[in-house]
Amino acid sequence: MSVRILQLLAGCMLAGAVAGMLQAKAGTKKPSAEDGEFVIFYSAKEIGSEKFAIQATAESAASSSVLEFRNPAEPGQKVRMETKLEMDANYLPRSYVLKSDVNGVKGSITGNFAPNQVMLDFEGNGTSRRSGLLLPNRYTVLDSNIYHHFIFLVRLFDFDSKEKTQRFEVLVPQENDSGILKVSELRRAEMELRGKKREVRVLQAASDALQLQLWVDRDGVLQKISVPSKGLEVVRR
């Protein structure tokens, strides 16, 4: 199955959920805490932002976020999403909650995880449904429009590996889909960080449906996500 991510379309906002698998070696330092904000640009115009917080210990990791943007595919549509994700130290999910508000229409996805399986509860438009999925041993969450989830992918990417391309199977809850994301180092580049030009490493992440770039500084911190084919840039403030 394909993995569709980073879609800024009305149809992806209240979609369902599934799971995948992830196997990788950690190649960058894992900070114990990280608070930040990404600013979202579409066709060079600012349309929203995502504020997030990540906590990590030797045994676990957790994140929360608030995302707000104006959907360019639907003029006047305002989208707000709140997430809470709890994981083990290797970013294997233990629980996940997404609450959405699209022009006052509220919805939610709740994921309860057990070894090799997850139970997902969907609420929205006055209806509810439950879906159970069998899972492999390792997987992680990479949800549509939740940009801080890419930080976990960067932390798991092994920059010292001799393998040109590393393969990650990921869970995309809102897309009701899972699949393989292939990640490789594309090039070195320069970008302005804190008022100075700094060298960054540009990773390419590709699925069957989309290619995107992850711009990572020398400390392993994700600074920018770009999807040139979609005119989308997500830049750390």
Tell me the pLDDT of the chain (237 aa) as tens digits: 444 555 544 333 333 222 222 333 334 455 568 999 999 999 999 999 999 999 999 999 999 999 999 999 888 899 999 999 999 999 999 999 999 999 999 999 999 998 888 888 999 988 999 988 777 788 889 998 999 999 999 999 999 998 989 998 888 888 767 778 999 999 998 888 877 889 999 999 998 878 999 999 999 999 999 999 999 999 999
Question: How would CATH label the architecture of 10-236?
Answer: Clam (2.50)
pLDDT at 174: 84
Total residues belonging to the chain: 237
Q: What are phi and psi of 154, to 5 degrees?
A: -65, -40
DSSP 175: G
Question: Is the distance from CB of 171 to CB of 21 less than 8 angstroms?
Answer: no
Q: How far apart are CA 131 and CA 17, in angstroms?
A: 8
pLDDT score for 7:
54
In Å, how far are 73, 155, 158, 196 from 219, measured between CA atoms? 36, 11, 14, 15
Task: Give the tokens for residue 5.
Answer: 């991510």
Q: Name the pTM for this structure.
A: 0.86
How many CB atoms sit inside 10 A of residue 27's CB? 15
Residues 6+ positions from 100 with CB-CB distance below 8 Å = 13, 14, 79, 80, 81, 82, 106, 107, 108, 124
Helix (H, G, I), strand (E, B) or coil at 12: helix
Distance CA 115, CA 184 (A): 29
Domain ranges of the chain: 10-236
